[in-house]
């Protein structure tokens, strides 16, 4: 019953992906097994032994049948009787063999569970450590979905197969060889027949399998399309309705659904006929063996027990063959996944830290940008010969239209990216000579993208300072005007934020990130003002919290609010990735350039004139 070629459902079955460099990837994958060499050897030996023991079973059992049969004939002849002592002995031996075989198989699988899981564990750990070694460039250039799929799905795929594949390959191969040997030891001719017939059915099946693979691939694609359509239509439900396009969406759905039906029933059907064909081959084989065997028995060349044993072997023969072909498919897909994981592990890492890193004593907060050049890619130069001297406690506003590259400056200050030429100096020390971690601790950063992790509010605030006391956390929350709303939550500071922190509002998230920076108490502040999705009252709180945060600290603000911009000591006006104007509000207005235009635009053409 459980046999090869059964694809229950098969819906989730992705088409087999092939690795670009199968050999290399396999080699690298095998390297993980190196440290488990000894265990693996034991596992292999045990797997082989277990297979051998279970394979000899039928042959020995055949002896019991033979004895029984000849004993019965003797008995009729009156020349003897069934030798139960002998049969009993045989059965005890077989029982022992089966027991040992099962024990070995258990021990082997028990050990394998440990090995495979610790390999996966190690791989996960490596991938995780790699995350912190990659430059930010990598994250900016690759989609989060792709990285995530390499670091989660692909590893899971590898892990699922490492565990079962090895033992299955060993046992399948050992079984095939073992059965062949056993059959040969019984009778050459019958073995020849079996070896001829079984591959014929396997051949038929591989043709069918290839055909069904086509349908499975198609099914997989259409399922993807259909699910995509469903997802899109459900998330855009309101838009679909707003524009009255329900019928169009149903029409497209029906088309995909029908296509899915047509491919999936074929895939399902074709995979369903593999087993019956295999069984037929096996039955055909049985009859032929009986016929040929009968001749041999009559002529005294074979015993009845041998026939019985042979029949049993031949019926077991196609199971490991089917299993093997299944595993090979799985291994292929695991190797493709492993390759993707290895590609990730191979990505270029950030330049190593300077070991003799400098630290600033009693930071004043002077930031100097000294004649720097920078570009994300060599084709497009972004910053050229930029100079700026910011005195301690000054406020720098970065403004510009959407997509003007306002975050570039932040990226450089935090050393998420390194400048191409020139230097950024903090208190006259080149930031390149500091440890990245140290430098970044000098800056407190509040991004618009409010990153909070799945944990309590307390844990999230104290992210800025390890071992912060409850008092300190509360102080920081108070300073960020977050204490009030936190207290209204049923669990207070111990409220667990769910994954997307949907249990608190966007504005409240902002307040928490500000509290985090308050607690960290960094001398230099980088702020990204929120533009949307925050209600006006919370926005007011955020603004006040930010103002309080900036007090007495050198600060850089990606600004959207006019009041902030106007109070800035320096305004950097950016457009299309470059800094086009620098100065104070008054200077820039007087200049009548891009900034003046930007500033005036919001009052010159008002909505009153639209209608």
Partner 1 sequence: MKKLLKYLKPFKIMIFLIILMVAIQSIGELYMPNLMSDIINNGISKVEYSIDTKALKNAILTDQITELNKTLESKGITKEAFVANSDEILNRIKQDILSAQDSQDLNNLDNNQYMLFQNMLSSGIVEAKNVSDMEYIKDVGIKMLIVAFIITIVTILASYLSSRIAMRYGKVLRQKIFEKVSTFSQGDINKFGTPSLITRTTNDVTQVQNATVMVLRMMIMVPIMCIGSIFMAISKDKTLSWILAIVVPILFLILGIVMKKATPLFKSLQVKLDKLNQIMREQLSGVKVIRAFDKDEYEKARFERSNKDHIDTAIKVNRIVAVLMPAMTIILNFTTIAVVWFGAKRIDLGAMQIGDMMAFIQYAMHVLFSFVMATVMFVLLPRAFASGDRIQEVLAVDPAIKDKDNAKENDIHNGIVEFKNVNFKYPDSEGEFALENISFKTHPGKVTAIIGSTGSSKTTILNLISRYYDVTSGEVLVDGMNVKDYKLEDLRDKIGYVPQKAFLFSGTIKDNILYGKENATEEEIMHSLDVAQASEFVNNLEEGIMSHVAQGGNNFSGGQKQRLSIARAIVRKPEIYVFDDSFSALDFKTDSNLRAALKKETDNASFIIVAQRVSTIMDADQIIVLNDGKIEGIGKHKELLENCDVYKEIVYSQLSREEAGA
Residues 284-323 within binding reach of partner 1 (CB under 8 A): 284, 286-288, 290-291, 293-295, 297-298, 304, 307-308, 311
- The distance from CA 39 to its chain's CA centroid, rounded to whole angstroms, is 28
How far is it, in rounded angstroms, from Cα 322 to Cα 129? 40
> What are the E-state strand segments in 316-390?
367-374, 383-390
∠ CA 251-253-254, rounded to 5°: 65
How far is it, in rounded angstroms, from Cα 456 to Cα 460? 6
Task: Name which of residues 332 to 371 contact partner 1 (CB under 8 A).
Answer: none
Quick check: 605 binds partner 1 (CB under 8 A)?
A: yes
Minimum gap (Å) between residue 198 Cβ and partner 1: 15
268 vs 555 by CB, closer to partner 1: 268
Distances (CA, A) of 269 to 154, 323, 336, 490: 29, 20, 28, 55
Quick check: 196 binds partner 1 (CB under 8 A)?
A: no
Pairing of strands 578-583, 524-528: unpaired
Quick check: 538 binds partner 1 (CB under 8 A)?
A: yes
Task: Name which of residues 399 to 418 contact partner 1 (CB under 8 A).
Answer: 400-403, 414, 416
Residues 6+ apart with CB under 8 A from 104: 46, 47, 49, 50, 53
203 vs 451 by CB, closer to partner 1: 451
Chosen residue from 4, 36, 51, 54 binding partner 1 by CB under 8 A: 54
Minimum gap (Å) between residue 387 Cβ and partner 1: 25
Minimum gap (Å) between residue 353 Cβ and partner 1: 12
419 vs 439 by CB, closer to partner 1: 439
How far is it, in rounded angstroms, from Cα 397 to Cα 527? 9
Asked if 293 and 307 touch (Cβ cutoff 8 Å), the reply is: yes
Task: Name which of residues 417 to 476 contact partner 1 (CB under 8 A).
Answer: 436-438, 440-441, 443-445, 447, 449, 451, 453-454, 463-464, 466
Asked if 576 and 405 touch (Cβ cutoff 8 Å), the reply is: yes
Minimum gap (Å) between residue 385 Cβ and partner 1: 27
85 vs 362 by CB, closer to partner 1: 85
Helices (H) and strands (E) in the chain, counts: 20, 10
Task: Name which of residues 250 to 289 contact partner 1 (CB under 8 A).
Answer: 250, 253-254, 257-258, 260-261, 264-266, 268-269, 272-273, 275-277, 279-280, 283-284, 286-288
25 vs 303 by CB, closer to partner 1: 303
Q: Which stretch binds partner 1 (CB under 8 A): 95-103, 180-188, 332-340, 419-427?
A: 95-103
165 vs 284 by CB, closer to partner 1: 284
Task: Name which of residues 3 to 32 contact partner 1 (CB under 8 A).
Answer: 8-9, 11-12
203 vs 261 by CB, closer to partner 1: 261
Chosen residue from 4, 13, 162, 163 binding partner 1 by CB under 8 A: 163
Minimum gap (Å) between residue 175 Cβ and partner 1: 12
Minimum gap (Å) between residue 2 Cβ and partner 1: 8
24 vs 95 by CB, closer to partner 1: 95
What length does the chain have? 611
Task: Name which of residues 57 to 76 contact partner 1 (CB under 8 A).
Answer: 57, 61, 64-65, 68-69, 71-73, 75-76
Asked if 383 and 394 touch (Cβ cutoff 8 Å), the reply is: no
Minimum gap (Å) between residue 553 Cβ and partner 1: 15
Quick check: 35 binds partner 1 (CB under 8 A)?
A: no
Quick check: 203 binds partner 1 (CB under 8 A)?
A: no
22 vs 456 by CB, closer to partner 1: 456
Bridge partners for 261 per DSSP? none
Chosen residue from 45, 136, 328, 351 binding partner 1 by CB under 8 A: 136
181 vs 230 by CB, closer to partner 1: 230
Minimum gap (Å) between residue 410 Cβ and partner 1: 9
Token pair, residue 526, equals 């980088």
24 vs 403 by CB, closer to partner 1: 403
How far is it, in rounded angstroms, from Cα 178 to Cα 101? 14
Token pair, residue 418, equals 């390194």
Residues 6+ apart with CB under 8 A from 408: 374, 376, 382, 383, 417, 574, 577
How far is it, in rounded angstroms, from Cα 205 to Cα 201? 6
Minimum gap (Å) between residue 388 Cβ and partner 1: 21
Task: Name which of residues 475 to 514 contact partner 1 (CB under 8 A).
Answer: 499, 505, 507
> What are the E-state strand segments in 478-536?
524-528
- Reduce the DSSP state of residue 243 to 3 states and report it: coil
Residues 6+ apart with CB under 8 A from 384: 373, 578
How far is it, in rounded angstroms, from Cα 156 to Cα 66? 51
Task: Name which of residues 518 to 537 contact partner 1 (CB under 8 A).
Answer: 520, 531-537
DSSP state of 379: T
Quick check: 234 binds partner 1 (CB under 8 A)?
A: yes
Q: Which stretch binds partner 1 (CB under 8 A): 108-116, 355-363, 384-392, 488-496?
A: 108-116
130 vs 373 by CB, closer to partner 1: 130
Bridge partners for 380 per DSSP? 377
How far is it, in rounded angstroms, from Cα 313 to Cα 187? 12
Contacts 24+ apart (CB under 8 A), 199-207: 200/281, 201/277, 201/278, 201/280, 201/281, 201/282, 201/318, 202/278, 202/318, 202/321, 202/322, 202/325, 204/277, 204/281, 205/5, 205/274, 205/277, 205/278, 205/322, 206/325
389 vs 544 by CB, closer to partner 1: 544
Count, residues near partner 1 per rule CB under 8 A: 174
22 vs 60 by CB, closer to partner 1: 60
Minimum gap (Å) between residue 456 Cβ and partner 1: 14
Quick check: 148 binds partner 1 (CB under 8 A)?
A: yes
């Amino acid at each position: 019953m459980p046999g090869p070629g059964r694809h229950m459902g098969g819906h989730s079955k992705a088409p087999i992906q092939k690795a670009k460099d199968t050999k290399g990837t396999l080699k690298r994958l095998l390297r993980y097994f190196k440290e488990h060499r000894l265990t693996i050897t034991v596992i292999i030996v045990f797997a082989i032994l277990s297979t051998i023991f279970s394979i000899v079973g039928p042959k020995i059992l055949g002896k019991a049948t033979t004895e029984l049969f000849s004993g019965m004939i003797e008995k009729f002849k009156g020349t003897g009787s069934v030798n139960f002592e002998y049969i009993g002995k045989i059965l005890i031996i077989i029982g022992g063999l089966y027991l040992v075989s099962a024990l070995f198989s258990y021990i082997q699988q028990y050990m394998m569970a440990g090995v495979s899981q610790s390999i996966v564990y190690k791989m996960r750990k490596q991938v995780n450590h790699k995350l912190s070694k990659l430059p930010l460039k990598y994250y900016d250039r690759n989609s989060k979905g792709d990285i995530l799929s390499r670091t989660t799905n692909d590893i899971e795929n590898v892990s699922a197969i490492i565990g079962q594949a090895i033992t299955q390959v060993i046992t399948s191969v050992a079984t095939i060889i073992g059965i062949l040997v056993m059959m040969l030891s019984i009778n050459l001719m019958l073995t020849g027949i079996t070896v001829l017939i079984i591959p014929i059915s396997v051949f038929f099946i591989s043709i069918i399998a290839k055909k069904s693979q086509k349908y499975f691939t198609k099914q997989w694609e259409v399922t993807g399309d259909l699910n995509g359509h469903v997802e899109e239509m459900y998330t855009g439900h309101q838009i679909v309705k707003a524009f009255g396009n329900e019928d169009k969406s149903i029409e497209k759905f029906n088309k995909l659904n029908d296509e899915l039906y047509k491919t999936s029933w074929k895939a399902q059907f074709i995979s369903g006929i593999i087993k019956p064909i295999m069984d037929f081959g096996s039955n055909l084989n049985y009859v032929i063996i009986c016929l040929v065997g009968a001749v041999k028995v009559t002529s005294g060349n074979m015993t009845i027990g041998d026939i019985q044993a042979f029949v049993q072997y031949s019926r077991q023969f196609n199971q490991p063959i089917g299993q093997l072909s299944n595993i090979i498919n799985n291994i292929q897909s695991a190797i493709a996944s492993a390759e993707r994981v290895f590609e990730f592990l191979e990505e270029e890492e950030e330049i190593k830290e300077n070991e003799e890193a400098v630290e600033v004593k009693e930071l004043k907060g002077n930031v100097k940008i000294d004649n720097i050049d920078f570009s994300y890619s060599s084709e497009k130069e972004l910053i050229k010969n930029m100079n700026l001297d910011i005195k301690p406690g000054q406020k720098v506003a970065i403004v510009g239209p959407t997509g003007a590259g306002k975050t570039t400056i932040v990226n450089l200050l935090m050393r998420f990216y390194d400048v191409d030429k020139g230097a950024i100096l903090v208190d006259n020390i080149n930031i390149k000579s500091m440890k990245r971690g140290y430098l970044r601790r000098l800056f407190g950063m509040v991004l618009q993208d409010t990153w909070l992790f799945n944990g309590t509010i307390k844990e999230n605030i104290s992210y800025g300072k390890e071992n912060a006391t409850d008092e300190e956390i509360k102080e920081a929350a108070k300073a960020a005007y977050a204490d009030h709303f936190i207290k209204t939550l049923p669990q207070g500071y111990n409220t667990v934020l769910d994954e997307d922190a949907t249990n608190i509002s966007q504005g409240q998230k902002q307040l928490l990130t500000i509290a985090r920076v308050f607690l960290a108490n960094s001398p230099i502040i980088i702020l990204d003002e929120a533009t949307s999705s925050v209600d006006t009252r919370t926005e007011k709180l955020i603004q006040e919290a930010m103002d309080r945060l900036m007090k007495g600290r050198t600060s850089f603000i990606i600004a959207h609010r006019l009041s902030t911009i106007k109070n800035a000591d320096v305004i950097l006006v950016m457009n299309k990735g470059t800094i086009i104007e620098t100065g104070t509000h008054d200077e820039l207005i007087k200049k009548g350039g891009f900034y003046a235009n930007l500033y005036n635009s919001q009052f010159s053409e008002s909505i009153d004139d639209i209608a």
